[in-house]
């Protein structure tokens, strides 16, 4: 054995014990007659010391050559420290070294292996194997493990069976681009990497598995951002002989279990909100309800007052920002510049100060009197000391803009507390959404989502009005899970594919295997998939997922550590019957 104990294990109870430790050199302090070495492993740090009076000279000379991140083995005796360090669990002891073995040397690391490092994101991703040695990343990966284990324990106790599904599958339209894999043995043909195991989990229900789950990799070739990677992990679940309420209850239970087990937080209420109400009150379908600032629609009280900016708008809508009347004119001007950024796209912002004496002062006082502004305050629920921020324009655009402003104000005011958790179900999404580019309807979730009971006939008359038997679970302004009751009979699935623009031949080519399976006694079924990466980040009090992934890609989808993706040689291309046709940029 290279070690008898870990570097986080020893205490004063181990005094006078002979031990063997192995790990990385965190730092060396050479006092001449005495050398101190901080030895680190996954479990913690233990101080070693070498004393010229009691340490053999050869060992002292070897200790003087140690550098940061050298891998060493040290044997010695545990002694109580004269000068204790209360900042680490092993701070009451140290090890007087009698034998020292250098197991491996190290180059000087390109950044310091400390909690607060001097390495930027790009540098740390290039040397990710060094970054993982840092406590924040190490603890994040351990935290992810704990969440995954808690998920497995809960679902297993609920009677779910973990079943693996294939990674090499057939390309099917699910909303994003597929990653494709050429087949050497089937010339000119390709596999696709799964965007989700959707059809397979439905086939498992046809197969009678009843309750399935899988913590599974999924792949989507789409533009990236802080909370999105080309490969990501889902907690994928499906249940047979269930209705929507059964699924909501089961996965409320899972979420409660995780919040209690991982964060020590008890959450009883899982409020439910219709999709249409979420868009009207918050401007998006994943609202953060830890704070207020609900939208107030002001058309009736703000239009027809000679202010043409509002008169010509499809929607005039505002929020009351608590306590923000204290903002200076300069701060408000910066806020107006913020909403006019291309990322937000607003043309401007009207504001109204709600003074402590009950009066109002607005940037459009010329057009609105105190009585008018009092109605703004009533509709937005503004109180004295608040600031009403108003945007106007096309309904969908202005809702998105005000939603972004709402989140920005909450961030600035410290209202998004990472230790508070507010789950929310969003229900009754539209089944279809219109795409201006293709001029046809697309499935808002996926083609296998069932319409709400009794609405199937609406597909022929008012397809845009049909609601999906679908639901998303939102936590702190992030969608952590989404699912639906599935279509489970061939005629309904055929109708759905027809309205999505598939000919019978195309439907057969793409989904024939599933349609065939539905003819062999498919049970009613439904499910949900949680985004594990995002869920872990939120439970860990962070917005971004990168530190909870061992080897993440950057915003261009590249792994800068191994330099992938990368070209393949001509021999491989020929073997796969591929020819490159790269266009000059």
Q: According to the annotation, is 195 in a ligand binding site?
A: no
420 vs 538: CA distance, rounded Å: 10
β partners of residue 72: 23, 102
Encoded tokens for 180: 């494709």
Give the angle subtended at the CA of 486 by the CAs of 174 and 227, to the nearest 5°: 45
73 vs 550: CA distance, rounded Å: 27
Q: According to the annotation, is 534 in a ligand binding site?
A: yes
Orientation of helix 532-539 relative to helix 135-157, angle to 10°? 110
Q: According to the annotation, is 229 in a ligand binding site?
A: yes
User: 140 and 540 in contact (C-beta within 8 Å)?
Assistant: yes
Instruction: Collapse the DSSP code of 342 into the 3-class scheme (helix H, G, I; strand E, B; otherwise coil) and give the result.
Output: coil
Strand pairing of 231-240 and 211-219?
antiparallel
Selection from 572, 560, 485 nearest residue 122 by Cα: 560
Q: According to the annotation, is 499 in a ligand binding site?
A: no
Residues 6+ apart with CB under 8 A from 377: 320, 352, 354, 360, 383, 386, 388
Q: According to the annotation, is 314 in a ligand binding site?
A: no
Element spanning 141, H or E: helix 135-157
Encoded tokens for 83: 């000068």
Contacts 24+ apart (CB under 8 A), 152-158: 152/215, 154/253, 154/254, 154/257, 154/258, 155/213, 155/237, 155/254, 158/211, 158/250, 158/253
User: 6 and 41 in contact (C-beta within 8 Å)?
Assistant: yes
Q: According to the annotation, is 32 in a ligand binding site?
A: no
Q: According to the annotation, is 145 in a ligand binding site?
A: no
Rg (CA), the chain: 30
Q: According to the annotation, is 532 in a ligand binding site?
A: yes
- Phi, psi (deg, nearest 5) at residue 224: -105, 165
Q: According to the annotation, is 331 in a ligand binding site?
A: no
Which letter does DSSP use for residue 557 in this model? S
Instruction: Collapse the DSSP code of 183 into the 3-class scheme (helix H, G, I; strand E, B; otherwise coil) and give the result.
Output: coil
In the annotated binding site for L-aspartate, the residues are 174, 220, 445, 486
In the annotated binding site, the residues are 174, 220-222, 229, 445, 479, 486, 531-534
In the annotated binding site for ATP, the residues are 220-222, 229, 479, 531-534
């Amino acid at each position: 054995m290279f070690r008898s104990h870990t570097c986080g294990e020893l205490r004063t109870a181990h005094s006078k014990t002979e031990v063997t430790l192995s790990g990385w050199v965190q730092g060396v302090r050479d006092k001449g007659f005495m050398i101190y070495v901080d030895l680190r492993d996954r479990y913690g740090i233990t101080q070693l010391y070498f004393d010229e009076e009691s340490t053999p000279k050869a060992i002292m000379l070897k200790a003087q050559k140690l550098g940061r991140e050298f891998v060493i083995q040290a044997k010695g005796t545990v002694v109580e420290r004269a000068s204790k360090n209360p900042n680490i669990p092993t701070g009451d002891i140290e090890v007087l070294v009698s034998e020292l073995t250098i197991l491996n040397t190290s180059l000087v690391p390109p950044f310091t292996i400390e909690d607060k490092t001097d390495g930027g994101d790009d540098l740390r991703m290039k040397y990710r194997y060094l970054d993982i040695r840092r406590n924040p990343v190490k603890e994040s990966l351990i935290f992810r493990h704990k969440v995954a284990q808690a998920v497995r324990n809960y679902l297993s106790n609920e009677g779910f069976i973990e079943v693996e599904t294939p990674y090499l599958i057939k390309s099917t339209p699910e909303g994003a681009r597929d990653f494709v894999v050429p087949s050497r043995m089937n010339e000119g043909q390709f596999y696709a990497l799964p965007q989700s195991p959707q059809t397979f989990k439905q086939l498992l229900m046809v197969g009678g598995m009843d309750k399935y789950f899988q913590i599974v990799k999924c792949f989507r070739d789409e533009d990236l951002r802080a909370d999105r990677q080309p490969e990501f992990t889902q907690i994928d679940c499906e249940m047979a002989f269930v209705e929507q309420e059964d699924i909501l209850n089961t996965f409320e239970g899972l979420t409660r279990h995780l919040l209690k087990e991982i964060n020590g937080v008890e959450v009883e209420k899982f409020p439910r909100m219709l999709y249409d109400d979420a868009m009207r009150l918050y401007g998006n379908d994943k609202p953060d309800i830890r704070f207020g600032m609900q939208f107030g629609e002001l058309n009736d009280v703000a239009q027809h007052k000679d202010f043409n900016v509002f008169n010509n708008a499809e929607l005039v809508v505002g929020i009351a920002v608590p306590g923000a009347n204290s903002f200076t004119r300069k701060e408000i001007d910066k806020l107006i510049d913020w909403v006019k950024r291309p990322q937000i796209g607003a043309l401007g912002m009207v504001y109204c100060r709600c003074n402590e004496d009950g009066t109002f002062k607005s940037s459009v006082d010329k057009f609105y009197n105190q009585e008018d502004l009092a109605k703004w305050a009533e509709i937005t629920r503004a109180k004295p000391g608040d600031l009403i921020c108003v945007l106007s324009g096309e309904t969908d655009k202005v809702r998105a803009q005000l939603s972004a402003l709402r989140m920005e104000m909450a961030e600035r005011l410290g209202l998004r507390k990472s230790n508070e958790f507010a789950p929310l179900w969003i229900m009754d999404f539209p089944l279809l959404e219109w795409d201006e580019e293709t001029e046809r309807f697309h499935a808002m979730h996926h083609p296998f989502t069932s319409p709400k009971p009794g609405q199937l006939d609406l597909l022929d008359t008012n397809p845009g009005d049909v609601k999906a038997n679908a639901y998303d679970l939102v936590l702190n302004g992030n969608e952590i899970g989404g699912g639906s009751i599935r279509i489970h009979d061939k005629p309904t699935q055929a109708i759905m594919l027809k309205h999505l623009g598939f000919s019978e031949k195309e439907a057969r080519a793409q989904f024939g295997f599933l349609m065939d399976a539905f003819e062999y006694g498919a049970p009613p079924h439904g499910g949900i998939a949680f985004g594990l990466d995002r869920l872990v980040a939120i439970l860990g009090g962070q917005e971004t997922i990168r530190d909870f992934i061992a080897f993440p890609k950057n915003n261009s989808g590249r792994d800068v550590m191994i330099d992938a993706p990368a070209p393949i040689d001509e021999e491989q291309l020929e073997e796969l019957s591929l020819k490159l046709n790269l266009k000059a940029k």
